Amino acid sequence: MTAGNPHLFEFLLRQGDNALVLGHRTSEWCGTAPALEEDIALANTALDLIGQTQLWLAYAADVEGAGRSNDDLAFLRDVYDFRNVLMLEVPNEDFGRTMARQFFFDAFQVPWLSALQNSSEQRVSDIAHKSLKEAQYHLERSAETVIALGDGTELSNQLMQTAVNYLWPYTGELFGEDDTDVAMHSQGIAPLPASMRKAWNDTVFSTLNEACLTAPDDPFAHTGGRNGVRHTEHLGHMLAVMQTLQRSYPGATW
């Protein structure tokens, strides 16, 4: 049974909000990327993520059973109701940080979605199966781009190293563990995020090495996004833009 399972609702919000917040951030590049091909690639990546958001949040809305839709969850919740990891809400800054963030996220999503294909919940498994194909394609591109920029010019290397240093303290939250994670694990719905650590490390360290970049040797991790306790100041600004239409014209439809 899914109805009346608050941990499942929370879990689904986390999946949907990660895809939504990164999808929106990525879409901010539309029309302003450094080259036409990159502009198109970023917009397509954003589109995949928004598509995945619709699947996760529609499921979350069904589990909640309060008559809300996936659009209601996306456009009518406030900052502290969001359950994305903090790394995904910080500003794009530049192309280097955008691609480094995409890479750190993709390197998590590929093993994570692979594992979710075996979920005891059929609908989780179906969404994971669909999303995994897209995540694998994203990882191929983000890893290649991190290498091309890291092992590029002196300037591109320096900008990528700055991006890695900035993002690194945010990566630890991906592997967080609380009551919801334990409940999902014990119900066979999802593995513990911490069990993705080895696969993530393997991908990340080998890619950074190839990219002539180094990971900071500091285990400190910012937390608070995936449980909604403490978002950064940036999410509210992002939502103000993303939600403006529904906030200004409540109930507007196509």
Partner 1 sequence: MVSAQAFTTEQVWQWLEQIADPEIPVISIVDLGVVREVRVNDNQVSVVITPTYSGCPAMREIESNISTELARRGIQHLNLETKIAPAWTTDWMSDEGRIKLESYGIAAPEASGGPKRCPQCQSNQLEKISQFGSTPCKAQWRCLDCLEPFEYFKCL
Residues forming contacts to partner 1 in the complex (CB under 8 A) are 37-38, 40-41, 44-45, 47-52, 54-55, 122, 125-127, 129-131, 133-134, 137, 140-141
How many Cα atoms sit within 13 Å of 84 on the Cβ side?
A: 30
- 56 or 200, CB closer to partner 1? 56
- 37 or 233, CB closer to partner 1? 37
- 92 or 223, CB closer to partner 1? 92
DSSP annotation of 66 reads S
Q: Report, in Å, the least distance between residue 52 CB and partner 1.
A: 5
Q: Report, in Å, the least distance between residue 187 CB and partner 1.
A: 20
Q: Report, in Å, the least distance between residue 132 CB and partner 1.
A: 8
Q: Report, in Å, the least distance between residue 91 CB and partner 1.
A: 23
- 40 or 240, CB closer to partner 1? 40
Q: Report, in Å, the least distance between residue 56 CB and partner 1.
A: 10
How many Cα atoms sit within 13 Å of 90 on the Cβ side?
A: 18
What is the spatial distance between Cα 83 and Cα 178, in angstroms, rounded to a whole number? 13
Contacts of 97 by beta carbon, 8 Å cutoff, 6+ apart: 162, 163, 166, 167
- 86 or 100, CB closer to partner 1? 100
What is the spatial distance between Cα 91 and Cα 74, in angstroms, rounded to a whole number? 19
Contacts of 189 by beta carbon, 8 Å cutoff, 6+ apart: 8, 11, 119, 120, 121, 124
